[in-house]
Amino acid sequence: MTILDKIKKANLVGRGGAGFPTALKWEAVKCAQSKNKYIVVNAAEGEPGVKKDGFILENYPDRVLEGVELAIKFLSAQKVYFYINHDYYKKYSAKLKKIISRLGLKDKIEFFLKPVKSGYIGGEETAILNIIEGRRTEPRLKPPFPTTAGLFGCPTLINNVETFYNVSLVEHNEYYDFRFYTINGPISNPGVYAYPDRWTIKMVLLESKNYPNFPFFVQVGGDASGEVLSSDQLDKVVCGAGSITVYNLVKVKPEKLLKYWLDFFKNSSCGQCTPCREGNYRLVELFNKRPVPWKKIREILNTLEETSFCALGAALPLPVKSYLKNILHDNLQIK
């Protein structure tokens, strides 16, 4: 049984946030006709509140690199770019380089540091391709997809750190449909935990002994783009990049939290498309007015959701709209 067959049997999905079937991506790169093929390991982890990849690199670097080695052999890839943020490179590169040398992959794997000023968009897969090629930090129009026309126009496999870790487990028949969850907030035991995939928010909080004893709400999938849910909505499965952040319902100031999201997305926009570039700027501008013109804000949020070029622009409406609906119950008296 090939590694692709094993991945298919395990129903492995990517852990970068989108949950795309790993086998489909590997198969597409394998079948693409090209002399050169590339692999990109995405260790950018730029979503606030998500820390699982750092945890994996610290504790299981050998597993990650075995998964990369399996991909190299399966695809006959010419080169691997280990795309990593500066903090993780500083902490884990020495250990990773030792393993790479031991595996005899020094000529195959090159570390590429995520530019400090590339921000959130610097972790988007097609923006990563542009950065490695020395182009502007912005996402590409799809199709064509990286699997057929990625780095330097060649078929390219881009997978998250956790995905390569899981591929190693699959190879040794040790994958049991678990995933990593990052739990943040004013709780007893914050950190990264491994539990079965498809667990609900409530199950993860209870099992990790992080279920709060105070009025709270949560944000799931990332502290920037994640959905906000009340303590009565915890039967949902943890989605996206697998993070849960707990907020104290009494202590959190709505104005401060909303401003954080709006400022984050305004500062993170690459400026490529008008809805995101102008929309996020106008949202911050409108939010600073008194009284806050919520009708106009909702109109811009809807426009961002429907017309943004990439997932960054379309992501802001989810936390804002879900917070307004589920926590504030549309009581929009911001002082």
Domain ranges of the chain: 3-171, 178-248, 254-326
Query: Given CA atoms 291, 296, 298, 300 in this order, what sign does their dihedral have?
Result: negative
Pairwise CA distance, residues 26 & 198, whole Å:
23
* 254-326: CATH architecture: Up-down Bundle (1.20)
Q: State the pLDDT at residue 30.
A: 97
The sheet with strand 227-230 has its strands ordered as 191-196, 178-184, 243-248, 216-220, 227-230
CATH fold, domain 3-171, is: Rossmann fold (3.40.50)
pLDDT band at 241 (very low <50, low <70, confident <90, very high): confident
Q: Where are the alpha helices (DSSP H) in 39-145?
A: 52-59, 61-75, 86-102, 125-132
Q: State the pLDDT at residue 334.
A: 57
pLDDT tens by residue, 86-120: 999 999 999 999 999 999 999 999 999 999 888 88
Residue 182: phi, psi to the nearest 5? -100, 125
Pairwise CA distance, residues 201 & 63, whole Å:
27
Residue 293 vs residue 207, higher pLDDT: 207
* 178-248: CATH architecture: Roll (3.10)
Q: State the pLDDT at residue 246.
A: 98
Whether 182 and 242 have beta carbons less than 8 Å apart is answered as yes
Whole-model pTM over 0.85: yes
Pairwise CA distance, residues 139 & 125, whole Å:
8
Residue 312's alpha-carbon distances to 80, 119, 233, 267, 275, in angstroms, are 26, 11, 25, 11, 11
